[in-house]
């Protein structure tokens, strides 16, 4: 007889949720890397950045320009996982603010949105 999720051990529920979160983070990271972005994964979030945004030969520029980056979190809501933008607060000591992006299973959509935010125009490139 299969154990239903409602009767599952609470520790098993947490372990399954953590496993699902990690799998989605890994999936999104792989797609973002395929689009030329660098990614670092945490427990329930990742940071993606565009290496082209900090490419400079001037050491002063490297120190002053840490690059173009974006934090994205994954969290459960209403029984499903979702992606959230993470924005810095209005002051240095303010907590991060979050904004819904899309369902966690929409990996390509999330990657497209993130890549759009982190896009750097190449010299001579124009966007509509």
47-85 tens-digit pLDDT: 999 988 765 555 544 444 556 899 999 999 988 999 999
Q: Where are the alpha helices (DSSP H) in the chain?
A: 10-34, 59-64, 107-117
pTM: 0.79
pLDDT at 123: 59
Contacts from 94-103 at CB under 8 Å and sequence distance 24+? 96/71, 98/73, 101/72
**Contact between residue 93 and residue 86 where contact means Cβ atoms under 8 Å apart:** no
pLDDT at 89: 81
Where residue 28 falls among pLDDT bands split at 50, 70, 90?
A: very high
Q: Six-digit token pair at 19?
A: 């496993």
pLDDT at 9: 87
**Contact between residue 39 and residue 32 where contact means Cβ atoms under 8 Å apart:** yes
């Amino acid at each position: 007889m299969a154990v239903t999720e409602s009767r599952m051990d609470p520790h098993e529920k947490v372990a399954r949720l953590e496993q699902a979160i990690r799998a989605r983070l890994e999936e999104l990271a792989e797609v973002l890397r395929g689009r030329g972005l660098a990614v670092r994964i945490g427990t329930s979030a990742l940071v993606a950045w565009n290496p082209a945004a900090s490419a400079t030969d001037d050491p002063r520029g490297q120190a002053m320009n840490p690059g173009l980056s974006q934090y994205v979190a994954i969290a459960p809501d209403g029984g499903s996982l979702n992606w959230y933008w993470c924005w810095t607060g209005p002051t240095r000591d303010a907590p991060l603010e979050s904004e819904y992006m899309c369902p966690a299973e929409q990996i390509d959509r999330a990657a497209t949105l993130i890549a759009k935010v982190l896009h750097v125009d190449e010299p001579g490139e124009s966007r509509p």
